[in-house]
């Protein structure tokens, strides 16, 4: 097992807030970070030693970047796996390209999990309006159409209540390759956040109850409560299977619906996750620190709760302007991402509150 010692440099693909928080955790363990992203700057620039601006399709720039760091990771999944393969020829990349291939294609993701025995919503592939009309007959009238690639926080999605909605929904997603998913009757939403070390060791954090507003995560609360806790064991077993099948190293997140039939898999993210931001103050070891530990081949840290109850609230758009009031609350831990413009739907920061 390769160990990357403190003092080394971690390369991060992507310079958003997740890269920022990985870089902060890395610095606390004595590592330097180097960002590679197509943008000129971003939230991670404030806390990283180096920033290389380059396209993910630029093999020469990727090669030079890989040669300047000791291990590479990524903060989001919408990266061409070919870029990771280029980097892999020059050094260590964790997680690997296969996790990207599965997670960034919704149809592949659903089939992958179903083949492992996981429970999913009914789904069908959609490549045309005719496909969509046939899929509604199979999946059910109440359904949601999602672009097969890209799209997050509710983007690239359209809800349907029957065949009459098909033309408008197909237009709404830009007539792209898509997946139609049937609605799931559920009581709560939750996520399983795990870290898998280079030696195969797996540790889990408490599964938080997640509440979404307009398709964007609003709050994550841990512990998740009795209905979620009754389904966590089965959800963890599936998540561990996914990590094992992918040969995964790092933090991996799977989102679930708690239903009468058990945990229904929704989607996965091969990275640190918004629903795990509470772990910075709310767990003995945060998801960001354990991600660094895992990709560097270090012993994994304790994932237990550090308080009786923890709640993370996303600050969307102008909600971040309330920073002064938030800082006046002794139970609040404020994180602002350094973004210069507050726009509707944009994650500007988060606040975590601990009940000891």
Cis before 250? omega within 30: no
Rounded CA gap, 177 and 279, in Å? 36
Supply the pLDDT for residue 150: 67
Q: Are 148 and 177 in contact (CB under 8 A)?
A: yes
Supply the pLDDT for residue 281: 98
Per-residue pLDDT 10s for the chain (356 aa) are 689 999 999 999 999 999 999 999 999 999 999 999 999 999 999 999 999 999 999 999 999 999 999 999 999 888 888 889 889 888 899 999 999 999 988 999 999 999 999 999 998 888 888 888 888 888 888 888 888 876 555 577 888 888 888 888 888 888 888 988 888 888 899 999 999 999 999 999 999 999 999 889 999 999 999 999 999 999 999 999 999 999 999 999 999 999 999 999 999 999 999 999 999 999 999 999 999 999 999 999 999 999 999 999 999 999 999 999 999 999 999 999 999 888 888 999 999 999 98
Express the helix, strand and coil content of the chain in percent, nearest 5 each: 35, 30, 35
Supply the pLDDT for residue 317: 94
Q: Are 66 and 87 in contact (CB under 8 A)?
A: yes
For the chain, counts of helices (H) and of strands (E): 11, 17
Cis before 95? omega within 30: yes
Supply the pLDDT for residue 162: 82
Supply the pLDDT for residue 154: 58
């Amino acid at each position: 097992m390769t160990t990357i010692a403190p003092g080394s440099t971690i390369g991060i693909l992507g310079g958003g807030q997740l890269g920022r928080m990985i870089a902060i955790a890395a610095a606390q363990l004595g590592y330097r970070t180097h960002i590679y992203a197509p943008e000129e700057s971003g939230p991670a620039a404030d806390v990283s030693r180096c920033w290389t601006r380059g396209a993910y399709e630029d093999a020469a720039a990727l090669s030079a970047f890989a040669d300047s760091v000791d291990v590479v990771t990524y903060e989001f999944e919408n990266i061409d796996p070919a870029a990771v393969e280029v980097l892999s020829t020059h050094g260590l990349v964790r997680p690997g390209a296969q996790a990207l291939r599965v997670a960034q294609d919704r149809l592949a993701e659903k089939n992958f999990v179903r083949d492992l025995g996981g429970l999913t919503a009914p789904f069908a592939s959609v490549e045309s309006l005719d496909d969509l009309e046939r899929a509604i007959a199979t999946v059910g009238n109440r359904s949601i159409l999602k672009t097969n690639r890209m799209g997050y926080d509710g983007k690239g999605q359209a809800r349907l209540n029957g065949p009459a909605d098909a033309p408008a929904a197909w237009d709404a997603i830009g007539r792209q390759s898509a997946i139609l998913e049937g609605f799931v009757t559920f009581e709560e939403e939750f996520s399983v956040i795990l870290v898998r070390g280079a030696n195969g060791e797996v540790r889990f954090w408490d599964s938080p109850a997640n509440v979404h507003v307009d398709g964007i995560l609003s709050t994550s609360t841990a512990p998740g409560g009795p209905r979620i806790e009754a389904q966590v064991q089965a959800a963890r077993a599936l998540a561990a299977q996914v990590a094992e099948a992918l040969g995964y190293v790092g933090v991996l997140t799977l989102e679930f619906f708690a239903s009468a039939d058990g945990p229904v898999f929704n989607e996965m993210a091969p990275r640190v996750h918004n629903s795990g931001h509470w772990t910075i103050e709310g767990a003995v070891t945060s998801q960001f620190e354990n991600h660094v530990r895992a990709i560097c081949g270090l012993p994994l840290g304790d994932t237990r709760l550090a308080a009786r109850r923890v709640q993370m609230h996303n600050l969307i758009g102008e909600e971040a302007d309330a920073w002064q009031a938030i800082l006046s609350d002794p139970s609040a831990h404020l994180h602002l991402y350094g973004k210069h413009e507050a726009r509707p739907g944009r994650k500007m920061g988060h606040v975590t509150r601990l009940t000891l």
